């Protein structure tokens, strides 16, 4: 009897110990950072647990699954959307949201992630449905802003704040993509042709301008050279003229210089015929008188031994 009583007491003690452990486990809860827990007491909302250690009443309080308070990123599958010009485009969206009120996120909506997805799809179709394809492809910021405004307003009562909505991709039909690529290729070819023509035009203009400047500089150089040559000849003539006047030459010297110049007139292949001027006789008289009485014929013979009276070319 004593052994049976001792065994029953041991079983009771074990059961009591297990019960105490279960009570402690269900009573003590540790909430991690950036998490929140909703506590129900007898099936009714009682409080929201913040990060840290907390004590619950066993079998009376029930802790619901913890909610993540960090900003979450959800990527939704591509959605077919019809644009204003009746083209079906596939749009991928990414939504950034954060739970701000754990109580509302628990009791105001059954599945807030699914609700955000469906609301995003509906709003996206409404927004893109009022735009044509070109506007939809070039107005992503506008679409993102409209989506964020509508989603933030609708999810506010769910305890969720939508921070950003991004369009990952807008894929038009393949036939439209081919047409767009051809259009872009033609536009690039047109721009390249315009740039080439502009370059050729500028090159021709610069070449003509350079030639004009070169011609102007050449003409100016030739003009200055002619002026300098004329000035030099003028100065040489002036010096000769001054030297002659300073030397005070007489008639005999002038006649002699005149006769010395005549043979040079016959030089050159272009001279077909040259005639001795009539003034040569007067010059010969002066030379003859200067040589001591020799007649004009003798003086002429002495001076024109090497000068032909008439020179012709066959």
Encode the chain (314 residues) as per-residue pLDDT tens digits: 556 666 777 887 888 888 878 877 778 888 899 899 999 988 899 999 988 888 888 888 888 899 999 999 988 888 888 888 888 888 888 989 999 999 999 998 888 888 888 888 888 888 888 888 888 888 888 888 888 888 888 888 899 998 888 888 888 877 776 776 777 788 888 888 898 898 889 989 988 988 989 999 889 888 888 888 888 888 887 777 777 777 666 666 666 666 666 666 666 555 555 555 555 556 556 555 555 544 444 444 444 444 444 443 43
Query: DSSP secondary-structure letter at 167?
Result: E
Beta bridge partners of 29: 54
Written as six digits, the tokens of 134 are: 């070109």
Predicted pLDDT of residue 205: 92
Quick check: 259 and 276 in contact, CB under 8 A? no
Predicted pLDDT of residue 306: 43
Q: Which of 34, 64, 71 is nearest to 51 (CA)?
A: 34
Pure H helices in 48-173: 102-107, 112-128, 133-138, 140-155
Predicted pLDDT of residue 296: 45
Predicted pLDDT of residue 184: 78
How many other C-beta atoms can be found within 10 angstroms of the C-beta atom of residue 279?
A: 11
Predicted pLDDT of residue 4: 64
Quick check: 167 and 140 in contact, CB under 8 A? yes
Q: Coil, helix or strand for 109?
A: coil
Residue entry with tokens 């009746």:
86
Written as six digits, the tokens of 10 are: 């041991």
* Alpha-carbon distances, residue 219 vs 41, 121, 145, 256, 307 (angstroms): 109, 79, 70, 43, 43
């Amino acid at each position: 009897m004593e052994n049976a009583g001792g065994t029953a007491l041991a079983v009771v003690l074990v059961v009591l110990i297990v019960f105490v452990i279960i009570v402690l486990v269900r009573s003590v809860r540790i909430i991690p950072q950036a998490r929140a827990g909703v506590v129900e007491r007898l099936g009714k909302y009682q409080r929201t647990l913040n990060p840290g250690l907390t004590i619950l009443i066993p079998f009376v309080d029930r802790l619901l699954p913890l909610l993540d308070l960090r900003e979450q990123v959800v990527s939704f599958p591509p959605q077919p959307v019809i644009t204003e010009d009746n083209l079906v485009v596939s749009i991928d969206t990414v939504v950034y949201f954060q739970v701000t009120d754990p109580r509302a996120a628990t009791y105001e909506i059954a599945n807030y992630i699914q609700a955000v997805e469906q609301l995003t799809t509906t709003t996206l179709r409404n927004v893109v449905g009022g735009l044509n394809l070109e506007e939809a492809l070039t107005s992503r910021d506008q679409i993102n802003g409209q989506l964020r405004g509508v989603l933030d307003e609708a999810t506010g009562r769910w305890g969720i704040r939508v921070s950003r909505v991004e369009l990952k991709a807008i894929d038009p039909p393949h036939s439209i993509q081919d047409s767009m690529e051809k259009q872009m290729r033609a536009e690039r070819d047109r721009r390249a042709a315009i740039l080439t023509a502009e370059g050729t035009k500028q090159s021709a203009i610069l070449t003509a301008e350079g030639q004009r400047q070169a011609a102007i500089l050449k003409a100016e150089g030739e003009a200055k050279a002619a002026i300098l040559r004329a000035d030099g000849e003028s100065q040489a003539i002036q010096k000769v003229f001054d030297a002659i006047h300073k030397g005070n030459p007489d008639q005999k010297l002038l006649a002699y210089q005149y006769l010395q110049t005549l043979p040079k007139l016959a030089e050159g292949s272009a001279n077909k015929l040259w005639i001795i001027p009539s003034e040569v006789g007067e010059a010969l008289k002066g030379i003859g008188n200067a040589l001591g009485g020799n007649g004009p014929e003798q003086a002429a013979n002495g001076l024109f031994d090497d000068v032909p009276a008439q020179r012709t070319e066959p």
